[in-house]
Structure 1
Amino acid sequence: MPSKSATKRNRRAQANPMSARKGPSGAVIAGIVVVVLFAVAVGFGVLRASNHNTEAAAPPPNAIASGVPIGQPTAPATVDIYLDLQCPVCKAYEQQEGATIDSLIANGSAKVIYHPIAILDEESSTKYSSRASSASGCAAADKVFPQFIRLLYANQPAEGSAGLTGQQLISYGQQAGAGAGFAQCVNNNSYAKWTANLTDAASQAGITATPTIKVNGQEIDKTDGALRQAVLAAAGHK
């Protein structure tokens, strides 16, 4: 198993800042391996300990305890996307698969549950992963979650930096179409507890890397072909 420092170097070396939805080829994404070991992440043990005393954290409006669902509830395929908004490979995956995901949602083939977990807080001096996830809860409440996370990916800060400021998060939320209460929601870190619970639940479910993609509970490769094939299979097509 690679050491944490080796994993960090691997993730940083493969980060590819891009701002357009047209992203890297499936072969590039398939060749990237990002492994984040929860047990050794700085502060993660403290987070888990605090969650053992957890009080139920109400999810944002338009979200659920486990994430943010997008699409028709009756769609035959459920696509779970575990992401960290600080993760460069998550950004690359969204740029590669975003159009496909939009199409699958629009035609009723799949619904997507986004799990904006926070496992890269140690890569920021301000716990940016947690702050961005909490802000995404505010975006979900205003029904602009997909638009908001795409703006955060397009403006993703470098690992090791302080991350986007609260004002920048507010600005991108407003660009996405969030309402008047969005700024207060972000400034109050209103969904910090929801973020912590999402992250703890992902750890308990065995999620050790971002992005992790599942279709109807089965993990798939991070390629366009794998996603399409799994969704077709869920609808009864071979």
Structure 2
Amino acid sequence: MSENNPQGKRTARDRMQAERERQRSMDKRRRMLVVLAAVVGVLAVVAVVGVLIGQNSGSDTNDKPVAFPKGAVGEDRLALPAGKAAAPAALTVYEDFRCPACGQFEDRFSKTINELEDAGKLRTEYRLVKLIDGNFGGTGSLNSANAAACAQNAGKFVPYHDVLFRNQPPENDDAFAEKGHLKDLAGKVDGLRGKRFDSCVDDGRFDGWVDASDEAFGKSGHNSTPTVLLEGKNILGPGSNLTPESFKQLVEDAGKD
């Protein structure tokens, strides 16, 4: 009977062809949905990983938010002050607690600086950097600077600063990386050692602040420590013959201007 009905055969073939087209279209749509779902899944994973990285990056020193020590001064609040704010002469000292030249400077000049500060003739701004960490590796410059900022928070920066330099290790010895050692040294300063100081040191509370101070030093045009500026003028550059006596005279002259 079908041989006598060619029109029926064509209609059946057309229906079969249409069904195959419909199936191909549905298969294509399913494949697209599968691919789209896979892409969405990958993007979701990437987003979650990004969030986790963002959260964990806070443990990276360079990404820590900047917490400022109490009493930090300067427009950028990156300097720790010593002496009376109304003193007529201003000294700026860029230092690294691991830096041997800084230790030599402090050994020779700290007594005179402290005397001038106590006499109300000099105010000093200390800016802490981590130059030696960059040169030799390690974290002693960073950790000691953070500990000094913790001491500033307790109102004990100057005596702790002096203790660190009196106990300065050799340049290639990263002893200041040991936070326990930094806490032990705090025991040499009356009233400094305690839970608050220890927690501040252990947490690296001011690591971000130290990083910001170090970055500002890199942009300052100075490239060595100690850099010592009196009223903005470098008084300890190459070829300097500065002595405690000549330094004292410079301070007194600056106070008269």
TM-score by length of 2: 0.67
Indicate the residue corresponding to 2:42 in structure 1: none
Is residue 124–residue 161 contact of structure 1 (8 Å, CA) maintained in 2?
no
Matched, 1:234 2:254: yes
Distance 1:81 1:149 in 2: 12
Distance 1:78 1:56 in 2: 29
Q: How does 1:156-171 map to 2 (within 5 A)?
A: 156-164=168-176, 165-171=178-184
Deviates more, 1:150-159 or 1:138-147: 150-159
- Unaligned runs of 5+ residues in structure 2 are 1-60, 237-241
Distance 1:198 1:104 in 2: 26
Distance 2:65 2:134 in 1: 25
Q: Label 1:55 to 1:151 Cα distance change in 2 as closer, same or farther (>3 A).
A: closer
Once the two structures are TM-superposed, the CA of residue 87 in structure 1 deviates from its matched residue by: 0.6
> Which structure is higher in RCO with an 8 Å CA cutoff and minimum separation 6?
1
Is residue 63–residue 141 contact of structure 1 (8 Å, CA) maintained in 2?
no
Indicate the residue corresponding to 2:127 in structure 1: 115
Tell me which of 193, 204, 223 is aligned to 1:208: 223
Is residue 129–residue 217 contact of structure 2 (8 Å, CA) maintained in 1?
yes
Q: How does 1:118-129 map to 2 (within 5 A)?
A: 118-129=130-141
Aligned identity (percent) is 25
Matched, 1:76 2:85: no
Indicate the residue corresponding to 2:199 in structure 1: 184
Query: Structure 1: which 4+ aligned runs deviate by more than 4 Å?
Result: none
Once the two structures are TM-superposed, the CA of residue 203 in structure 1 deviates from its matched residue by: 1.4
Once the two structures are TM-superposed, the CA of residue 55 in structure 1 deviates from its matched residue by: 8.2
Tell me which of 59, 66, 73 is aligned to 2:68: 59
Indicate the residue corresponding to 1:38 in structure 2: none
Give the partner amino acid of 2:141: S
Once the two structures are TM-superposed, the CA of residue 190 in structure 1 deviates from its matched residue by: 0.6
Tell me which of 233, 243, 248 is aligned to 1:218: 233
Indicate the residue corresponding to 2:22 in structure 1: none
Deviations 1:19-74 (A, max 9, x none): xxxxxxxxxxxxxxxxxxxxxxxxxxxxxxx97xx887232113232211011111
Q: Label 1:230 to 1:116 Cα distance change in 2 as closer, same or farther (>3 A).
A: same
For the aligned residues, what is the CA RMSD? Answer: 2.0
Distance 1:166 1:66 in 2: 22
Q: Secondary structure at the match of 2:175?
A: coil
Is residue 150–residue 201 contact of structure 2 (8 Å, CA) maintained in 1?
yes
Is residue 91–residue 123 contact of structure 2 (8 Å, CA) maintained in 1?
yes
Deviations 1:162-181 (A, max 9, x none): 32311110111132131521
Is residue 220–residue 226 contact of structure 1 (8 Å, CA) maintained in 2?
no
Distance 2:155 2:141 in 1: 21
Give the partner amino acid of 1:176: V
Q: Secondary structure at the match of 1:59?
A: coil
Once the two structures are TM-superposed, the CA of residue 129 in structure 1 deviates from its matched residue by: 0.6
Once the two structures are TM-superposed, the CA of residue 88 in structure 1 deviates from its matched residue by: 0.9
Deviates more, 1:116-125 or 1:70-79: 116-125
Deviations 1:120-155 (A, max 9, x none): 104555311111111110011111112112221122
- Unaligned runs of 5+ residues in structure 1 are 1-49
TM-score by length of 1: 0.72
Give the partner amino acid of 1:217: G
Once the two structures are TM-superposed, the CA of residue 156 in structure 1 deviates from its matched residue by: 1.2
Give the partner amino acid of 1:184: S
Distance 1:196 1:125 in 2: 15
Is residue 67–residue 205 contact of structure 2 (8 Å, CA) maintained in 1?
no
Tell me which of 149, 157, 171 is aligned to 1:145: 157
Indicate the residue corresponding to 1:94 in structure 2: 106
Give the structure with the larger helix fraction: 2
Q: Label 1:163 to 1:124 Cα distance change in 2 as closer, same or farther (>3 A).
A: farther
